Amino acid sequence: MRPTKSIDHSRTEQVHFLRYEDINGEGRLFGGKLLSWIDEVGGITARRHTGMKVTTAAIDHLQFKSPAFLNQLVVVTGHVTHVGNSSLEVQVDTWLEELDGRRHLMNRAYVTMVALDDHDQPTPIPCDIAIESESARGEWESAIKRVELRKRRRQEGF
């Protein structure tokens, strides 16, 4: 059994006030920009949990449910949902925040990060996450299904 860290220990939130450089030719948030924020939040969350150097192995699920425009607030949040041997899964949610503070989910992505040693090889993660609520247990169980699916996908090449 590995020691545990709370999910809140590595929980990460990044807020962006959309500026011209974030916007595409259609006047909306550029999808590639959002992808880079998702990758960054996934990496920061994983680094905080592991205390190690990490790299991105995969990003699942990019479905842009609603657009965002200039001067809007976009909030990207990350928390760890599963820890494997050398990899961990971070759920990264992207929200559009209204003037009154209400948030609408724009996107949910699952980022798989891998911990690296000094030779940039995958290395075991020393600590698990503490499952302290029913929702965290549910997320962990769903994450196990996604991890298995990713393994099958890689093995079978689909």
Ligand X SMILES: CC(C)(COP(=O)(O)OP(=O)(O)OC[C@H]1O[C@@H](n2cnc3c(N)ncnc32)[C@H](O)[C@@H]1OP(=O)(O)O)[C@@H](O)C(=O)NCCC(=O)NCCS
C-beta nearest to ligand X: residue = 84
CB of 106 to ligand X, least distance (A): 22
Decide whether 65 or 154 has the Cβ nearer to ligand X: 154
Write the secondary structure of 68-119 as one string of H (helix), E (strand) and C (coil). Answer: CECCCEEEEEEEEEEECCCEEEEEEEEEEECCCCCEEEEEEEEEEEEEECCC
Q: Which helix (H) or strand (E) holds 142?
A: helix 134-156
Neighbours of 145 (CB within 10 A): 10
Distance CA 92, CA 109 (A): 5
Nearest to 90, CA basis, from 132, 119, 129 = 129
CB of 38 to ligand X, least distance (A): 12
Partners of 5 in the β-ladder = 129
Q: Is 152 in the site for ligand X (CB under 6 A)?
A: no
Decide whether 24 or 121 has the Cβ nearer to ligand X: 121
Q: Which stretch binds ligand X (CB under 6 A): 12-20, 21-29, 83-91, 95-103?
A: 83-91
Q: Which stretch binds ligand X (CB under 6 A): 10-18, 26-34, 82-90, 130-138?
A: 82-90
Here's the x/- map for ligand X, 92-131, by CB under 6 A: it reads as: --------------------x-x-------x---------
Q: In 3-state terms, what secondary structure has residue 30?
A: coil
Decide whether 117 or 132 has the Cβ nearer to ligand X: 117
Check residue 98 and report its DSSP letter: P
Contacts with ligand X by CB under 6 A lie at 55-58, 84-87, 112, 114, 122, 150-151, 154
